[in-house]
Amino acid sequence: MIQVQRLNKWFGDHHVLRDIDLEVAQGEVVVVIGPSGSGKSTLCRCLNRLESAGSGEILIDGVPAPVEGRELARLRADVGMVFQSFNLFQHKSVLENVMLAPVKVRGVSRAEAESTARELLARVGIAEQAAKLPAQLSGGQQQRAAIARALAMRPKVMLFDEPTSALDPEMVGEVLDVMVQLAADGMTMVVVTHEMGFARRAADRVVFMDDGQIVESAEPDAFFEAPTTDRARDFLAKVL
Ligand code: ADP
Ligand code: MG
């Protein structure tokens, strides 16, 4: 579903992604971990072209990720993204937030968009919040609304960039539960997170990044029990 080949990215002189090779199969859940500044967010943003690549190839579902025009809009729909900050439209209801892109970008009728939106809000457990404004929801509910909004575009892939980092601790679990369910339903997912419990529970593979490189890529049990590099061992010693 995702093929990244020799991806490099510079910010000025700063080489932030170095020869990244990454393949994610359909239905696979890849958790990306690593220290702050290692390039995790930049990698995610390159995957849906929020950030331009310096060099290298990115294919989504076998097709080179387009860089502009209508094709780019379709890429953004196919590759859903959920950020640390929920990025909901504050002056629109939760329901409208979820309906908006399918109506505007996919040309879906309002009636169909509403019925899909209500289904998705039920799926993430906030059906009863549909008429409220985002500010009237808890952080965990807002993040679940953001997940529903991304799912409304029927993406092929979901990217999550530290989706629980801005939440109060008691709300982390409800968002992770939605993500675990999504993984169980077969969604292809790339998840940047510091939640090692989620990685153990839901990941098919853990990718460890440091200094712009993928340093290790392994199944969670192997990675957590026996990391093969000093850099991964040092990182795990700090976070576990
Ligand atoms: P992570 O998500 O792993 O914390 P990032 O991908 O955000 O890392 O950042 C990787 C490196 O790129 C960091 O050194 C960061 O300061 C730098 N960086 C990120 N975004 C920009 C930007 N827009 N302009 C310049 N440097 C950036
Ligand atoms: Mg980041």
**Per-residue pLDDT tens for 100-151?**
999 998 899 999 999 999 999 999 999 999 999 999 999 999 999 999 999 9
**How many CB atoms sit inside 10 A of residue 138's CB?**
15
Calculate what percentage of the chain has a pLDDT beyond 90.
94
Name which residue sits closest to atom 13 of ligand 1, judged by CA: 37
| Amino acid identity, position 200 | R
Q: Could you give the CA distance from residue 235 to residue 237 in angstroms, rounded to a whole number?
A: 5
**DSSP conformational letter for 208:** E
**Strand runs (DSSP E) across 98-204, as ranges?**
157-161, 188-192
Name which residue sits closest to atom 16 of ligand 1, judged by CA: 37
Cβ(2)–Cβ(80) below 8 Å: no
Instruction: Tell me the best of 14, 38, 42 to mutate to test the pocket of ligand 1, counting ligand atoms within 8 Å of each CB and taking the most.
Output: 42
Average of per-residue pLDDT across 54-73: 93
Using the mean position of ligand 2's atoms as its centre, give its distance from the Cα of residue 128 in Å. Answer: 32
Average of per-residue pLDDT across 4-25: 98
Listed in sequence order, the residues at least 6 apart from 202 whose beta carbon sits closer than 8 Å to its beta carbon are: 29, 31, 179, 180, 183, 191
Q: Could you give the CA distance from residue 190 to residue 30 in angstroms, rounded to a whole number?
A: 5
Give the pTM: 0.96
CA atoms within 13 A on the CB side of 122: 6
Instruction: Please state, in angstroms and as integers, the Cα–Cα distance from residue 93 to each residue in 83, 121, 186, following that order.
Output: 19, 12, 29
**Does the ipTM exceed 0.90?**
yes
Q: Could you give the CA distance from residue 90 to residue 68 in angstroms, rounded to a whole number?
A: 28
86 pLDDT above the threshold of 90 = no
13 pLDDT above the threshold of 90 = yes
Measured from the Cα of 162, ligand 1's closest atom is 2
Name which residue sits closest to atom 18 of ligand 1, judged by CA: 11
Pocket (CB within 6 angstroms of ligand 1): 11, 14, 16, 34, 36-42
